[in-house]
Amino acid sequence: MSLTTSPYILYSDGNGTIFEDTSLYVVGRSGWDAYPIPVEEFIQLPEGGQLYELVGRRGIGIDVQTGEMRLCQKGWAVAAFVPPAHTSFYIAAYETGPDAPTLPLFCYTAVGWHDDKFYVPATRVEQDIRQESAGFDEVLVSQGVEALQKAYPHNRLVKHLAQNCALTYHCPAARNYFIGRWECPIPSSPACNANCIGCISFQPEDESIVSPQDRLLFKPTVEEIVEYTVPHLETAPFPIVSFGQGCEGEPLLMWETLRQSILEIRRHTQKGSININTNGSKPDAVKALCEAGLNSIRVSTNSVRREIYMPYYRPNNYDFNDIIESLKVVNGYGGWTSINYFVFPGMTDSVDEYEALRTVIRDTGLNMIQWRSFNIDPDWYLGKIGVTETGEVMGLKQMMELLKEEFPALRYGYFNPPIERIRGNYDLDFAHQ
**Edge-to-edge strands, sheet with 273-278:** 183-186, 240-243, 273-278, 296-301, 336-343, 368-373, 411-413
Q: How far is the CB of 181 from ligand SF4 (least distance, A)?
A: 26
Q: How far is the CB of 400 from ligand SF4 (least distance, A)?
A: 24
Which residue(s) pair with 116 in the sheet? Answer: none
Site string for ligand SF4, 249-268 (x = CB under 6 A): xx------------------
Q: How many beta carbons lie within 10 A of that of residue 163, not counting itself?
A: 12
> Of residues 232-251, which lie at the interface with ligand SF4 (CB under 6 A)?
249-250
Site string for ligand SF4, 278-307 (x = CB under 6 A): -x----------------------------
Q: How many beta carbons lie within 10 A of that of residue 403, not counting itself?
A: 17
Site string for ligand SF4, 155-194 (x = CB under 6 A): -------------------------------------x-x
Distances (CA, A) of 389 to 32, 59, 344: 8, 21, 14
DSSP 8-state secondary structure symbol assigned to residue 407: -
From the list 242, 252, 202, 260, the residue with the least C-alpha distance to 336 is 242
427-430, long-range: CB within 8 Å, 24+ apart, which pairs? 427/127, 428/238, 430/127, 430/128, 430/129
Give CA–CA dist 53/206, Å, rounded. Answer: 25
Q: Applying CB under 6 A, what is the total number of residues that bind ligand SF4?
A: 10
- Which of 80, 192 has the CB closer to ligand SF4? 192
> Of residues 191-210, which lie at the interface with ligand SF4 (CB under 6 A)?
192, 194-196, 199, 201-202
Q: How far is the CB of 309 from ligand SF4 (least distance, A)?
A: 11
Q: How far is the CB of 222 from ligand SF4 (least distance, A)?
A: 22
Is the separation of the CB atoms in 426 and 411 below 8 Å? Answer: yes
Q: How far is the CB of 211 from ligand SF4 (least distance, A)?
A: 8
- Which of 314, 404 has the CB closer to ligand SF4? 314
State the residues that interact with ligand SF4 by CB under 6 A: 192, 194-196, 199, 201-202, 249-250, 279
